[in-house]
Amino acid sequence: MAFARTAVLMATLTALVGFVGLLIGGEQGLIIALVIAAAMNGFAWWGSDKMVLSMHGAREVDARSAPDLVRMVEDLARRAELPMPKVYIIETDQPNAFATGRNPENAAVAATTGLMQRLSREELAGVMAHELAHIKNRDTLLMTITATLAGAIGLLANFALFFGGRDRPMGLIGTLAVAILAPLAAGIVQMAISRTREYKADEVGAEICGQPMWLAAALEKIDAFARRIDMNSAERNPGTAHMFIINPLHAHAHDSLFSTHPATSNRIAALRDMAGEGPAREKPFPSFWS
């Protein structure tokens, strides 16, 4: 169900790129729009992971510089049947984490120093399992593509607004409407995809670590801290907010159209169901350290 919904949303976003191009310049505009989107996705495919890590000042660590974290990620990656990703640390007091990379063979996970200091070992394992779930589900590539498609729509809309000339196919009012509404619609679709994938990553992450309540407890803590601790790098680069396990720009109260993440309370409730504290499960998860 989640996959089908994501596929529909991705098709909608791709169609929106072509639709904006078509409205702006007819068939020629459609071709130009698709070429721009393809070029942006090509750049994102090869360089987005490094760019995002650089935006947040992430530094790569290894078994000597961060032995506990690296060993934990290695154990979880083995359980998830994934290649070992690169591991990064971001120096910020807000507890948070994200994953990036175009495929499991070229993936990275990043955790903040606040996450490592404020969470228990079990809670940290739940968070890292969630990020590995994004890699396993190939969400890192999906979210990169949605971000670049949304960016392409914004670029096309601005191009039409400022360089359309007097012979605008839709007239000035129509062009203004596209310039305002198209990026807004793209953003809503992008956020809907992000929310869908967060629920799935919670589910798969809980299966990887074997204890849904570890992740549930971590989400509750991170959400509370994110509401009162700023992450300066995220404030400077709000376009990366959807990548984090909890919105680093302060959590939203509801699953609204404009939220990049589901409400944390809803995510915790779903994890409680998995753990058997909601509707009964047929069989319990094995323990990560059993």
pLDDT, position 27: 73
Residue spans of the chain under pLDDT 70: 1-14, 22-26, 41, 44-45, 144, 147-152, 154-195, 250-260, 277-290
In a domain, 284, yes or no: no
Residue 60 annotated as catalytic: no
In a domain, 289, yes or no: no
In a domain, 20, yes or no: yes
pLDDT, position 102: 84
pLDDT, position 55: 87
pLDDT, position 280: 37
Which domain, by its residues, includes 49? 2-164+172-275
In a domain, 27, yes or no: yes
CA 8 to chain centre: 18
pLDDT, position 284: 42
Structure tokens at 48: 């987005």
Which helix (H) or strand (E) covers residue 101, if one does? strand 97-101
Structurally, the chain folds into a number of domains equal to 1
In a domain, 286, yes or no: no
In a domain, 280, yes or no: no
Q: 3-class DSSP state for residue 1?
A: coil
pLDDT, position 219: 97
pLDDT, position 84: 97
pLDDT, position 113: 98
Active-site pick, 123, 131, 198, 203: 131
